[in-house]
Structure 1
Amino acid sequence: MGMSGEEPVPGFGVAVIREDGKWRCDQMDNIALRELDAAITELRKTRSTGAVFGLLAVDDEFFVVLRPSPGGVALLLSDAAAALDYDIAADALDLLRVDPPEDEDEVWPEGSLDILADLGLPAPELQVIIDEVDLYPDEQLQMIAQRCGFAAELTKHLDTILQ
């Protein structure tokens, strides 16, 4: 499996909160990069009247967008083939009830491409960002932030955690 067990998974998790027309980004616990349930639980604990979603960039390989709702959780995995190597991506496909791909050379997303559509990022634009395979996941997340309007907050946040 590669990155399983207890060693920390490289990357970062950010909870993005929109409240009263303002954006803020909070650090997520590193376990969120290893266990999907932990990430979902942490996001559900975030009290907000507005939108709350999580952005996980995992090991410079792929990203996950998670958005809990009262009825469940919407999620997007940028690269389905990551499930062959990373527990959290395998968990994501389990939740989506999708089988992992046979071949890891093809990159395609699984889940809700319209997960952030109500925040200014329609599905076709998110697909375009995912298709930029030369970009690192943190760069793709920056593009997502740009589209939705929280780029400055995300950049400031990443500058503090990636010191």
Structure 2
Amino acid sequence: MAKPDAQSEYDDVDGFAVAVVREEAGWKVTALAPSALDSVDDAELQLRELRAPGAVFGLLDVDDEFFIIVRPSPAGARLVLSDATAAVDYDVAADVLDALHIDIPDLDPDELDDVDPWEEGDLAILTDLGLPDAVLSIILGDTDLYADEQIGMIAARMGFADELSAVLDKLGR
């Protein structure tokens, strides 16, 4: 497993990974190491190492093509992948589908632009924190938006948009 402070293995993968923690005083958003974009296991490890007293989850934006929500739990991470077709091109997306026991879509990589994306995972992942599964489904269904825009909608709906924006500004995004 990669060290949390390791650089991303893929120089051509752009994006960001953040941890979102619900504290008594509100939300706290912090950047995760870039290696979280390479491995769901690495992202989960980084989130667990926060040892946050409140609810914690991660938001991983990979190339602004898709995003992953990772929420550690005692029974294993709960996951949402915004675009299952991304598993054809991205190992981290394939890892999510594998963890969910879902086959990678049998699609020709040259035809991906002609296929409508679909989400996979636990849409109720953030329900207890104020984002109903129906609302997450609507956000995921808006395929005209880039992944960072969808994450921004989640942040706005849940009330941590300012905290997310501050972290993204520090990351130069």
Aligned to 2:10: 7
User: What amino acid does structure 2 have at the position aligned with 1:98?
Assistant: I
Shift of 1:21: 3.6
SS of residue paired to 1:155: helix
Residue identity over aligned pairs, in percent, reads: 52
User: What amino acid does structure 2 have at the position aligned with 1:152?
Assistant: D
Structure 1: distance between partners of 2:144 and 2:25: 33
**Uncovered stretches (5+) of structure 1, i.e. residues with no partner:** none
Match runs of 1:13-162 below 5 Å: 13-103=17-107, 104=112, 105-162=115-172
User: What amino acid does structure 2 have at the position aligned with 1:62?
Assistant: F
SS of residue paired to 2:118: coil
Structure 2: distance between partners of 1:130 and 1:12: 18
Shift of 1:108: 0.7
CA contact under 8 A between 2:10 and 2:38: conserved in structure 1? no
Normalising by the residue count of structure 2, what TM-score does the alignment of the two structures yield?
A: 0.88
Superimposed CA distance per residue, residues 37-70 of structure 1 (whole angstroms, 9 cap, x where no aligned partner):
1111111111111110000000010000000011
Shift of 1:119: 1.0
Normalising by the residue count of structure 1, what TM-score does the alignment of the two structures yield?
A: 0.93
Structure 2: distance between partners of 1:142 and 1:99: 29
Shift of 1:6: 2.6
Structure 2: distance between partners of 1:94 and 1:46: 25
Superimposed CA distance per residue, residues 62-93 of structure 1 (whole angstroms, 9 cap, x where no aligned partner):
00000001121101000001000001000000
Superimposed CA distance per residue, residues 108-144 of structure 1 (whole angstroms, 9 cap, x where no aligned partner):
1000011101111111110110111111111100100
Aligned residues between the structures = 159
Structure 1: distance between partners of 2:27 and 2:40: 24
**Uncovered stretches (5+) of structure 2, i.e. residues with no partner:** 1-7
Shift of 1:161: 0.7
SS of residue paired to 2:152: helix
Query: Considering only aligned residues, what root-mean-square deviation do their CA atoms show, in Å?
Result: 1.3
Structure 1: distance between partners of 2:103 and 2:83: 13
CA contact under 8 A between 2:19 and 2:32: conserved in structure 1? yes
Structure 2: distance between partners of 1:113 and 1:162: 30
